[in-house]
Structure formats: structure tokens, C-alpha cells
Amino acid sequence: MLHDSSFMKTNELRKKDKAELEKSIEDLKKKLSDFRFRFSSNKLKNVKEIGIARKDIARMMTIINEKNNKADK
């Protein structure tokens, strides 16, 4: 089972405000930790979930940085 934001498009993420993105990042970091634990105990069925979660976190952090830079100007 893939996590809920694995199919989120960048445009959908840009519509969210900073607080929502930060909450999503925290949730994904918890799931990533769980994925790593399950991977180490050989219980993770789909190893791609780790990469997807990492990319989603990076995507959200990039959007937050863009919003911060835009606010600074």
C-alpha cells in the first residue's frame, strides 16, 4: 500500500499553505521511519515506498523554500 501523497502533483502541493506542508512532511517522516524499520526486518513488501516518500518530502521542502523566498522579496 502506497502512502497517501505518493500521487500528489506539484500543482496540488503549491495550493497548500506552509503549515499544511510542514504537517505533511512530519507525517511522511514518520512513515519513512516505519518503512525503514520494516525494510530492516524484511517485512516491507514494496521497497519503492522508501524512495517515493523521500522524493515527496524533498518536493514539499522545495515548495516551502520557494514560498519563503517569494515572501522575502
Report pLDDT digits (tens) over 3-62: 554 456 888 999 999 999 999 999 999 999 999 999 999 999 999 999 999 999 999 999
Do 25 and 61 form a contact (C-beta atoms < 8 A)?
yes
* pLDDT of res. 1: 41
12-72 fold: Helix Hairpins (1.10.287)
Task: Tell me how far apart the terminal alpha carbons of the chain are, to the nearest angstrom.
Answer: 41
Do 60 and 24 form a contact (C-beta atoms < 8 A)?
yes
For the chain, counts of helices (H) and of strands (E): 3, 0
What is the model's pTM? 0.82
